Amino acid sequence: MPGFGSISPAQLARLIGTPDCPVLIDTCMDDDFADNPYLIPGSRRHPYARIAELVSEISDRNAVVICKKGLKLSEGAAAILRCHGIGSETLEGGILAWQAAGLPVIPAAALPGTHLWVTRHRPKIDRIACPWLIRRFIDPGAQFLFVAPAEVPSVAEKFGAIPFDIEGVTFSHRGDKCSFDALLDDFHLHTEPLDRLALVVRGADTDRQDLAPQAAGLLALSVGLSRQYKDDLEQLEAGMAMYDALYRWARDGFDEGHDWPAGRKV
């Protein structure tokens, strides 16, 4: 059991990818980070000595502070946040314990230097699934620009945004796989639940419902959402809830069926 004011790697792993995930703050010293340049999914770097700068930004959310071993840096930073009314815990054992447990980490070099992403307007499947993955596992503060297809490259250049799900860019279809798969590859996010979800996304997005029985349902829901919302950002917010549910299915409920009345004869 983790001690007072701390959370275990297994407990934190259950929160990452869900709407209940706390703000994750990496306070590792620069030298330690240079020796081990990886981040827990969804976390951000911030100097431990300036932790109070984040109080207004965190606001009414909880936080988990991460350092190399879960000792002085995270303990002190979490205590300062608590002084300002922020519910804060440390990661037991730090990032070293997280890695020792075989949990996923993102190479710092893979992370973009911007919160802006841009893609084609009127999203259906991949262009909702990718923003969900980015916000839940890569950059919780990511913003998404939906623009006319022909303008995506120019908007990316002029505004310093990362283009995705168009031809000729890094995060796009690769062979028979989707942009969602490309993000999993490049950010080292392959886990059993996310791979299971990726198969459903791929089946729906490439019209290959044979890949997963749930793909036809995702296609139907995605088309329905696109008809329900004229505003792409409103559609994205609704889609976030849909993918939150799909992730929980992929993680916890994939082997559950439903039979009512129970034991009925077919």
pLDDT at 261 over 80: no
pLDDT at 52 over 80: yes
Q: Residue 233 falls within a domain, yes or no? A: yes
Q: Cβ neighbours of residue 156 under 8 Å, at least 6 residues apart?
A: 118, 162, 163, 169
The verdict on 190 and 100 lying in the same domain is no
The verdict on 118 and 238 lying in the same domain is yes
Residue 23 in tokens: 């703000």
- pLDDT value at residue 266: 53
What number of CA atoms fall less than 13 Å from residue 40's CA on the CB side? 33
Banded pLDDT at 70 (limits 50, 70, 90):
very high
Among residues 188, 148, 183, the alpha carbon closest in space to that of 169 is found at 183
Domain region containing 137: 112-253
Residue that terminates a domain, selected from 76, 104, 132: 104
The verdict on 116 and 248 lying in the same domain is yes
Give the DSSP letter of residue 51: G
Output the CA–CA distances (angstroms, integers) from residue 76 to 45, 82, 174, in the order listed: 16, 10, 45
* Tens of pLDDT, residues 8-26: 999 999 999 999 999 999 9
The verdict on 152 and 227 lying in the same domain is yes
Average pLDDT over residues 44-59: 96
Q: Residue 1 falls within a domain, yes or no? A: no
Average pLDDT over residues 40-47: 98
The verdict on 93 and 30 lying in the same domain is yes
- Which residue reads 């490259």 in tokens? 153
Instruction: Give the torsion sign (CA, 143, 147, 149, 152).
Output: negative
Q: Residue 262 falls within a domain, yes or no? A: no
Banded pLDDT at 265 (limits 50, 70, 90):
low
- pLDDT value at residue 1: 60
Measured between alpha carbons, how far is 224 from 123 in angstroms, rounded to an integer?
11
Output the CA–CA distances (angstroms, integers) from residue 23 to 4, 78, 209, in the order listed: 19, 12, 36
The verdict on 207 and 83 lying in the same domain is no
* Tens of pLDDT, residues 118-148: 999 999 999 999 999 999 999 999 999 999 9
The verdict on 133 and 97 lying in the same domain is no
- pLDDT value at residue 264: 64
Among residues 188, 143, 193, 191, the alpha carbon closest in space to that of 164 is found at 143
Average pLDDT over residues 68-80: 97
* Tens of pLDDT, residues 175-223: 999 999 999 999 999 999 999 999 999 999 999 999 999 999 999 999 9
The verdict on 167 and 199 lying in the same domain is yes
- pLDDT value at residue 131: 98
Instruction: Determine the straight-line distance between the first and last CA of the chain, rounded to whole angstroms.
Output: 48
Residue that terminates a domain, selected from 56, 80, 104: 104
Q: Residue 179 falls within a domain, yes or no? A: yes
Q: Residue 41 falls within a domain, yes or no? A: yes
Residue that terminates a domain, selected from 54, 74, 104: 104
Name the average pLDDT for the chain.
96
Q: Residue 135 falls within a domain, yes or no? A: yes
Task: Output the domain CATH number for residue 35.
Answer: 3.40.250.10
The verdict on 128 and 214 lying in the same domain is yes
Average pLDDT over residues 105-123: 97
Q: Residue 157 falls within a domain, yes or no? A: yes
Q: Between these two residues, 259 and 98, which has the higher pLDDT value? A: 98
- Say how many domains are in the chain: 2
- pLDDT value at residue 136: 98
The verdict on 57 and 172 lying in the same domain is no
The verdict on 246 and 175 lying in the same domain is yes
Q: Residue 265 falls within a domain, yes or no? A: no
Average pLDDT over residues 71-80: 97
The verdict on 226 and 143 lying in the same domain is yes
